[in-house]
Amino acid sequence: MVIPEVSREYEIPEGVEVKLDKQVLTVSGNDIVLSRKLSRGILPRIKDGKITISMQFPSTRKVAIFGMQASMIENMITGVQRGFSARLKVISSHFPITTEVREGVVLINNFLGERYPRKAKIYPGVEVSVEGELLTVKGPDRDGVAQTAANIEQGTIVRNRDRRIFQDGIYLIEKTSPMEE
């Protein structure tokens, strides 16, 4: 009898070190360390410069979880090698919006003439830089970069006004999978 199984195998590139402690996978390289806990039912193995993950008796739901975990491992390897970035642009037609980074938070000042600044949380390990109307979000963790960009974008949601007229905000204009420098 053949046991149904799903598996994927990845080469571990030079300069990248992968460690496995029970279900916690740690990927390190270029002085960056990322670690994540793998879902139950996923069987990881490291052998001969390759990492293999597999799952026995997969159902439709378990195959979806398996695919997500496989993508997560790919993103961790790419993240420690090159990193990820996103660029956002400040658009203001009614009131001049200013942004600044302070203590793990992006402060959005004078949005629609509001007296107090709006705040967007920066995910740990992610850097945000402000250059005029452009904000650049960089980091080794793809989820962290994406969540920080989403926090900044959601921090400028227009409420109680006509969105067709008040199109002010901070919008995502570019995502780069691996950072290009």
Q: Are 18 and 25 in contact (CB under 8 A)?
A: yes
Structural domains of the chain, with CATH: 5-81 (3.90.930.12), 84-176 (3.90.930.12)
Beta bridge partner(s), residue 70: none
pLDDT tens digits, one per residue of 1-27:
455 788 888 898 988 999 988 889 999
Cα 96 to Cα 84: distance, rounded to the nearest angstrom: 29
CA distance 134 to 109: 15
98-153 pLDDT, tens per residue?
A: 999 998 999 999 888 888 999 999 999 999 999 989 999 999 999 999 999 999 99
Helices 142-154 and 60-81 pack at an angle, to 10 degrees, of 90
3-state secondary structure of 110: coil
Q: State the residue for tokens 């996103």.
A: 86
Query: With bands split at pLDDT 50, 70 and 90, how would you rate the model's confidence at 61?
Result: confident
CB 71 within 8 A of CB 83: no
Ramachandran angles phi, psi of 134, nearest 5°: -110, 135
pTM: 0.84
Both tokens of residue 171?
Answer: 């919008």
